[in-house]
Amino acid sequence: MNILAIGDVVGSIGCRFLRVHLPQFKKMKGIDLVIANGENSADGNGLTPVSVQFLFDSGVDVITSGNHSFRRKESYELYDSCEYLLRPANFPASVPGKGSCIVDMGRIQVGVINLMGTIYMESLDSPFDMADRLLKEMPKITLIDFHAEATGEKRSFGYYLDGRVSAVFGTHTHVQTADECVLPQGTGYISDLGMTGPIQSVLGVKPELVIEKMRTKMPVRFALAEGDCKMECTLFQIDEKTGKTVSVERIQIQ
Amino acid sequence: MNILAIGDVVGSIGCRFLRVHLPQFKKMKGIDLVIANGENSADGNGLTPVSVQFLFDSGVDVITSGNHSFRRKESYELYDSCEYLLRPANFPASVPGKGSCIVDMGRIQVGVINLMGTIYMESLDSPFDMADRLLKEMPKITLIDFHAEATGEKRSFGYYLDGRVSAVFGTHTHVQTADECVLPQGTGYISDLGMTGPIQSVLGVKPELVIEKMRTKMPVRFALAEGDCKMECTLFQIDEKTGKTVSVERIQIQ
Amino acid sequence: MNILAIGDVVGSIGCRFLRVHLPQFKKMKGIDLVIANGENSADGNGLTPVSVQFLFDSGVDVITSGNHSFRRKESYELYDSCEYLLRPANFPASVPGKGSCIVDMGRIQVGVINLMGTIYMESLDSPFDMADRLLKEMPKITLIDFHAEATGEKRSFGYYLDGRVSAVFGTHTHVQTADECVLPQGTGYISDLGMTGPIQSVLGVKPELVIEKMRTKMPVRFALAEGDCKMECTLFQIDEKTGKTVSVERIQIQ
Amino acid sequence: MNILAIGDVVGSIGCRFLRVHLPQFKKMKGIDLVIANGENSADGNGLTPVSVQFLFDSGVDVITSGNHSFRRKESYELYDSCEYLLRPANFPASVPGKGSCIVDMGRIQVGVINLMGTIYMESLDSPFDMADRLLKEMPKITLIDFHAEATGEKRSFGYYLDGRVSAVFGTHTHVQTADECVLPQGTGYISDLGMTGPIQSVLGVKPELVIEKMRTKMPVRFALAEGDCKMECTLFQIDEKTGKTVSVERIQIQ
Ligand SMILES: [Fe+2]
Ligand SMILES: [Fe+2]
Ligand SMILES: [Fe+2]
Ligand SMILES: [Fe+2]
Ligand SMILES: [Fe+2]
Ligand SMILES: [Fe+2]
Ligand SMILES: [Fe+2]
Ligand SMILES: [Fe+2]
């Protein structure tokens, strides 16, 4: 089966671009399931009931998130009520929502896990240990969105799970990496899916604003860039019998 | 003219792979100048007189470095004596060596600058301000190795210098990014060149060792991975009249 | 002469407590000059024209600040117009204000420098180098507010300037340290002055709110604690002839 | 009963100073139990069988540690075999040793817990949650060494446990804080005990070496300072009936 994983969708501009291109692309590639990271889908970061609904309506099946999961109070209730909206599973147990779900596709079940890295990020329970625990109850076909910064943590996490999950894909840096591959034991892998949003930007934001912040160290209010967009994603072709990934295709749609 | 920039060369295994493939590749592509990041060219990180000489003998013209520049005492003298070995220019002024050089190619001069980012890294003088200062005395064709971790800092640095240098390429994460492009004002750009070293590895190191460190938080002695290697690099085709980049080609040689 | 340095004044509750106790304390101790860190003097962090004026009216002569210097837009103009309001001198040159001032006390001049550490904080120009530069134009009696987190950076900064300034006192952690002393070459030193604000608090904030943030890793809106306050400060008795500190008294007023 | 907690003992010079002063001080103050942080008791950081034995022989009853617990391979076996040598309890479960112990004092039992903070430090399991779990099986009189950097994390940890343990004392910064108190619900508290080692030093190390590292950002081999020492500690007087702290005395012995 073909499972598409889409990098952080940034703001309403990114959401609209996704809506325009995803349906057609799904048909063209025969995609069975779509996972997208939506932690920045609301303008001003985080996600809202509106941005979540927009993504689902556009053809996304499971929404993952990350360090911006709880930026918006209006989304908290959603994490509990919406089965296919995830926050990192290694957040403290007391926060709203859950970090994994199983999509029943009739003949077959697909698990999705969302975890967060801990290097250069918030201290959280070990994503390695948490993956071990969660995998006891996940179906043969399971994919993990590992929302993390450091390439060392991401790649070692991929190797740690090699042969035990269908795919591990990274998110958070908003820059697509070119290390997509099938790891030795059959797990599809890419360090970062990239981003869905404005091309001429710094992670979605107007470059001049980020430059100002970097140069002055003063508070700067960020605004999303405009102009042409791209959707960065990766397609995992998975063998339903083994749960292993057969091929990985890294994609940039402009 | 064609200038090739090669990502962090890791250990003697990476050096040997480079030596096997670089000379032929230079001919094939008509490459005029080669820049390589050598901060990990010695086994056990840093660089040594032996690894530096090996890289030069293999066809590298300028060696840049980064946070591992001063790992090895035996290299300190080299930074002063060797014109084409650089350390980040925004290191404190008292350290050995210099952060920029100009290669005289007869008809034309090519400048190379090495700078380091400051997010999730050592605090250093602003790479933005230092670039401004250095550019006053650099030739029309100048490239910058920006050794940094955070994609936000890297991309904003690229935009900051867009139109003012021929190219900005990132190093340090050891994972190649897929955002190579010519920025709107003509500067060639990629967030990270990637690495030259063993493919089945975590940034060059044996995966099981990095996993152990991540999981236990205990000290673990790293050892380089073995097996097949790759050389990750990017080719900037630069217009000699304008100093602008005409095209960018991202490359993985296996 | 007697110079009093007061730790971060937190919110209107801290400002009011200072106003009640400072005038009387100055008389009692024969204090000639008062320096206070005001970076949190506005409710909700940063400082405002109102909080700055309040501190000056309460008997503070020089206000220093730190990582919260630019939290409030309404204060930016003040940094330029007000001679005795400082922000860290090693901020980028383009930001408002200045990092040092000289108070003319008739017969004698007193310099005050504000610098910020770089460990676990924003990357800035080296406070060590900046101190060297600034000291070329400062009077014999000069004190430095070193706004920093790490004790290693603070203490090494103190030793670096020992014998070259009258005193180095740390701020930022909001917890007073008990290492006040005169360093071997005559510089008065304390790693952190502490805080002026509510006693039963976590750095001024209601403990339950900080606990919630630490436990859940979710965004929590902080509110200042209430109840009894303290003013933490240190008194440097300085020899006017030599500029050296003769004695250091660490103080907590409740 | 009187329980003394001693700040990080640094190197053989710190160990020797402790041996000279502790026995006499115990008698003088009628101290029933001594806890000392030994994570730097070996020269060159970490601890060794020799330094551990030396501390026990000098009158220490329980040794705690921290981020340097596993610096020395030769100490690993000790963490398992020695009942009264602790490493932070929130380290991953797979590491040697344990993070709590109970000292049987005949009529009465005293629990000691060692935990580590996560701000500006390694990512670990939440010390808050781990404390909750451990306290289910600890005696009425229990003290916690919270090895942490940030004052905000330390103070909120203290308030979190207020009324539930006899005392929380911080270690790690090597600088004693002056915020010792009995918290509202009866828990003795101090943000940092300080250090046992050479007075004229930066956390035990020769100042000029730390200054060199801070200024050059180059690797510098640290060496312990020499000269007069101090022992910084805090005495908790605990009501055996309630397990609450009745009074806290902060101490510096020179
Ligand atoms: Fe993120
Ligand atoms: Fe994101
Ligand atoms: Fe490297
Ligand atoms: Fe590096
Ligand atoms: Fe403050
Ligand atoms: Fe501060
Ligand atoms: Fe420590
Ligand atoms: Fe220590």
| Model ipTM value | 0.97
**How far does the CA of residue D34 sit from the closest CA of chain B (Å)?**
27
> From the CA of C67, how many Å to the nearest CA of chain A?
9
For chain A, positions 5-24, list CB contacts with chain C under 8 A.
Answer: none
Interface membership of A94 toward C (CB under 8 Å):
yes
Active-site residue identified among A21, A68, A147, A174? A68
| pLDDT band of D102, cuts 50, 70, 90 | very high
| Sequence-ordered list of residues with C-beta below 8 angstroms from that of D20, at least 6 positions apart, any chain | none
How much of chain C, in percent, has pLDDT values that exceed 70? 100
Chains in contact with B, counting 3 or more C-beta pairs less than 8 Å apart as contact: A, C, D
Q: How confident is the model at residue C197 (pLDDT cuts 50, 70, 90)?
A: very high
Instruction: Please say if A68 is a catalytic residue.
Output: yes
Q: Give Cα separations from C201 to C204, C205, C230, D116, D179 (angstroms).
A: 5, 5, 11, 21, 12
Q: C172: CA distance to ligand 5 center in Å?
A: 5
The pair of structure tokens assigned to C210 is: 């900080």
Q: What's the gap in Å between B203 CA and the centre of ligand 2?
A: 23
Cβ distance C216 to A71 less than 8 Å, yes or no, reads no
Calculate how close chain B gets to C149, using CA atoms only, in Å: 14
Closest by CA to D185, choosing from C200, C55, C187, is C200
Query: B120: nearest CA in chain D?
Result: D120
Give tens-digit pLDDT for D137-146: 999 999 999 9
Q: Name every chain B residue with its beta carbon within 8 A of the beta carbon of C129.
A: 92
Contacts of C24 (CB under 8 A, 6+ apart): none
Decide: B143 and B167 in contact? Cβ < 8 Å: yes
CB contact set of D164 (below 8 Å; sequence gap of 6+) = D135, D185, D187
Q: Name the residue type at position A90.
A: N
Q: Give the residue-averaged pLDDT of D227-244.
A: 98
Supply angle C-alpha C220, C225, C229, rounded to 5. Answer: 155
Q: How many other CB atoms are found less than 10 A from the CB of residue C188?
A: 29
Task: Count CB atoms within 10 A of the CB of residue D74.
Answer: 12
Q: Across B43-165, where does the E strand assignment appear?
A: 62-64, 100-104, 109-116, 141-147
Rounded Cα distance, A7 and A157, in Å: 18
Min Cα–Cα distance to chain A from C84, Å: 21
A219 vs C71, C92, C94: nearest CB? C71
Q: Which of chain B's residues have a Cβ under 8 Å away from the Cβ of C123?
A: 118-119, 121-124, 126
| pLDDT, mean over chain D | 98
| Band of residue C69 on the pLDDT scale cut at 50, 70, 90 | very high
CB of B105 less than 8 A from some CB of A: no
Written as one string, the DSSP assignment of chain C is -EEEEE-EE-HHHHHHHHHHHHHHHHHHHT--EEEEE-TT-STTSS--HHHHHHHHHTT-SEEE--TTTTS-GGGHHHHHH-TTB---TTS-TTSSS-SEEEEE-SS-EEEEEEEE--TTS---S-HHHHHHHHHTTS-SEEEEEEE-S-HHHHHHHHHHHBTTBSEEEEESSSS-BS--EE-TTS-EEES---EEEESSSBTTB-HHHHHHHHHH-S-----B--S-EEEEEEEEEE-TTT--EEEEEEEEE-
* Ligand whose nearest atom lies closest to the CA of D7: 8
What pLDDT is attached to residue D76?
97
Of C128, C156, C177, the CB nearest to D178: C177
What residues of chain A lie within 8 A of the CB of D119, using their CB? 123
Q: How far is the CA of B68 from the centre of ligand 2 (A)?
A: 29
Measured in angstroms, the CA of B251 and the nearest CA of chain C are apart by: 33
User: Are the C-beta atoms of A89 and A100 separated by less than 8 Å?
Assistant: yes
> Residue C155 has what pLDDT?
98
List CB contacts (< 8 A) between A124 and chain C.
217
pLDDT attached to residue B200: 98
Residues in chain B within 8 Å Cβ distance of D216:
91-92, 94-95
Identify all chain B residues contacting A174, using CB atoms and an 8 Å cutoff: 151-152
* pLDDT per 10-residue tile (average), chain B, 254 residues: 98 98 98 98 96 98 98 97 98 97 96 98 97 98 98 98 98 98 98 98 98 97 97 98 98 98
For A148-173, the pLDDT digits (tens) are 999 999 999 999 999 999 999 999 99
Phi-psi region of D22 (alpha: psi -120 to 50; beta: other; left: phi over 0): alpha
Looking at residue D98, its pLDDT comes to: 98
Q: A210–B152: do the CB atoms touch at under 8 Å?
A: yes
CB contacts, 8 Å: B122 with chain C: 123
Q: How far apart are CA B135 and CA B144, in angstroms?
A: 10
* % of chain A beyond a pLDDT of 70: 100
Q: Does domain C2-197+232-253 bear CATH number 3.10.50.40?
A: no
* Burial class for D98, CB neighbours closer than 10 Å (0-12, 13-18, 19+): middle
Distance C69 CA to ligand 5 centre (A): 10
> Which residue is catalytic, options C21, C68, C147, C172?
C68
Angle between helix C151-161 and C127-135 (nearest 10): 30
Cα–Cα distance measured from residue A46 to residue A66, given in angstroms and rounded to the nearest whole number: 9
Query: Is some CB atom of chain C closer than 8 A to the CB atom of A213?
Result: no
Q: Judge contact between A126 and A159, C-beta under 8 A.
A: no
User: What does the pLDDT average to over A18-46?
Assistant: 97
**Which sign does the torsion angle of CA C147, C152, C157, C163 carry?**
positive
C-chain residues near D155 (CB < 8 A): 175, 201-203, 207, 210
- What's the confidence (pLDDT) of residue D62? 98
What is the pLDDT at residue C207? 98
- Residue in chain A nearest B126 by alpha carbon: A215
The answer for residues whose C-beta is within 8 angstroms of residue B107's C-beta and 6 or more apart is none
Find, in chain C, the residue whose alpha carbon is nearest to that of A76: C218
Contact call for D124 and A123, based on CB within 8 A: yes
pLDDT at position D227, please?
A: 97
Domain residue ranges in chain C:
2-197+232-253
Which of B120, B218, B220, B221 is the mutation pick for testing D, counting most D CBs within 10 A? B218
- Residue D139 Cα, ligand 5 centroid: separation in angstroms? 38
The pLDDT value recorded for residue C3 is 98
Q: How far apart are CA C16 and CA C196, in angstroms?
A: 10
Angstrom distances, CA of residue B61 to CA of B16, B112, B171, B243: 16, 10, 17, 19
**CA-based nearest residue to C42, from C83, C8, C19, C88:** C8
| Residue of C175, C67, C173, C168 lying closest to C121 (CA atoms) | C67
Q: For residue C174, how far is its CA from the centre of ligand 5 (angstroms)?
A: 6
Closest approach of C117 to chain B, Cα-based (Å): 10
Amino acid at the residue B190: I
Helices and strands (H and E) in chain D: how many? 6, 13
Among candidate residues A114, A194, A178, A47, the one with its CA nearest the CA of residue B151: A194
Q: How far is the CA of C109 from the centre of ligand 8 (A)?
A: 41
Q: Rounded to a whole number, what is the distance in Å from the CA of B219 to chain D's nearest CA?
A: 7
Ligand nearest to the CA of C148: 6
- Compute the average pLDDT of residues D132-157: 98
Q: Which is the catalytic residue, given D68, D147, D172, D174?
A: D68
C41-54: average pLDDT: 97
- Chain C residues within 8 A of D129 when measuring between CB atoms: 215
Banded model confidence at residue C159, pLDDT cuts 50, 70, 90:
very high
Q: Which residues of chain B from 112 to 131 reach within 8 Å of chain A, CB to CB?
A: 120, 126, 128-129
Closest A-chain CA to B148: A150
d(Cα D115, Cα C183) in Å, to the nearest integer? 34
Contact C218 A70 (CB under 8 A): yes
Kindly give the distance from the C-alpha atom of residue B118 to the centroid of ligand 1, in angstroms, as a whole number: 19
- Which percentage of chain C shows pLDDT scores above 90? 100
Nearest CB among B126, B152, B210 relative to A152 is that of: B210
